[in-house]
Each structure stands twice: as structure tokens, then as C-alpha cells.
């Protein structure tokens, strides 16, 4: 159980870090679209800034979304073990998409600016998918040990 929780926490952290990078680069893309030049150093600085400073709002959203999505995948994968890889990866992807769409529907605003575009929303899904994949890999390794 402790190892499963550890796997979950690593999945959350990975999803958070990748999602924060996607947020910073999505925001920079909007600035570039306005005609400004952004250097690689500025992109890197923005990514590091977002990874360090989005913990108060974005990290809990990631944790809640995976906390809801991964157990659903578990319920399915328990009955169909051959679907583990796709199940957990898809669960993470859908969980991150859903949390942003639910916030938009309930509150009426996009909590993360880049999710206003399809590409930004899909990038958040990719971050969730990576987290779901990592959770699958870590928990599968635990079962085989």
C-alpha cells in the first residue's frame, strides 16, 4: 500500500511538472503571437518559475484529478488486466482534461490560460497521460517484485 501511494505521488509530481511546463510554454506562445521575441533562456526561466510557483492551486488540481481518475482505471484494469497500459494512461489523460473542462463549466473561466485553446487543453491531457503511464509502470514493477 505504501509503495502504491509512493507511485501515486510520483505520478502527481511528474504530471504537475510537465503540466506546468506546458502552461508556461502556452503562455509564451500567446506572447510570441503578439510579435515579441522570446529567448530560450526566457522560456526556461518561465518554465522554472511556473514549476516552483503553481503549487498552491495547480498542484492540488492535478492531485485531485488523478485521485479520481486512477481508481476508475484500477476498477477496469482489475477485471481486464491486459488493459493496464492503455487504461492508466487514458485515465490520466482524461482526468486532466476533465478537471479543466469541469472548472470551465462550473466557474465559467479557464483556470489555466493555455487551456482556452484546444492545443493547450490537449497538452494538459498529455501531462496527465504521462502521469498515468508512470503510475502503471511503477505499480506493475511493484507487482512483479
User: What pLDDT is attached to residue 119?
Assistant: 92
Using CB atoms within 10 Å of the CB of residue 125, give its burial: 0 to 12 exposed, 13 to 18 middle, 19+ buried: buried
Q: Could you say which residues of the chain have pLDDT below 70? A: 141-145
User: What pLDDT is attached to residue 95?
Assistant: 96
The C-alpha cell at 30 is 500567446
User: What pLDDT is attached to residue 112?
Assistant: 82
Q: Which of 39, 28, 23 is nearest to 113 (CA)?
A: 23
User: What pLDDT is attached to residue 45?
Assistant: 94
User: What pLDDT is attached to residue 143?
Assistant: 61
Tracing cell 493547450 back to the chain, one arrives at 120
Spatial separation of the C-alpha atoms in residues 129 and 10, rounded to whole Å: 13
User: What pLDDT is attached to residue 142?
Assistant: 58
User: What pLDDT is attached to residue 53?
Assistant: 92
Give the total residue count for the chain: 145
User: What pLDDT is attached to residue 144?
Assistant: 57
Whole-model pTM?
A: 0.89
Amino acid at each position: 500500500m505504501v509503495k502504491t501511494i509512493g507511485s501515486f505521488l510520483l505520478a502527481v509530481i511528474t504530471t504537475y511538472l510537465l503540466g506546468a511546463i506546458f502552461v508556461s510554454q502556452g503562455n509564451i506562445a500567446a506572447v510570441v503571437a503578439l510579435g515579441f521575441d522570446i529567448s530560450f533562456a526566457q522560456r526556461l526561466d518561465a518554465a522554472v518559475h511556473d514549476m516552483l510557483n503553481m503549487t498552491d492551486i495547480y498542484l492540488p488540481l492535478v492531485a485531485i484529478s488523478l485521485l479520481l481518475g486512477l481508481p476508475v482505471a484500477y476498477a477496469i484494469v482489475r477485471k481486464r488486466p491486459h488493459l493496464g497500459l492503455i487504461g492508466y494512461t487514458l485515465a490520466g489523460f482524461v482526468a486532466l482534461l476533465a478537471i479543466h473542462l469541469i472548472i470551465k463549466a462550473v466557474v465559467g473561466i479557464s483556470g489555466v490560460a493555455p487551456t482556452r485553446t484546444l492545443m493547450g487543453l490537449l497538452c494538459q491531457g498529455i501531462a496527465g497521460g504521462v502521469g498515468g503511464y508512470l503510475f502503471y509502470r511503477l505499480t506493475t514493477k511493484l507487482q512483479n517484485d
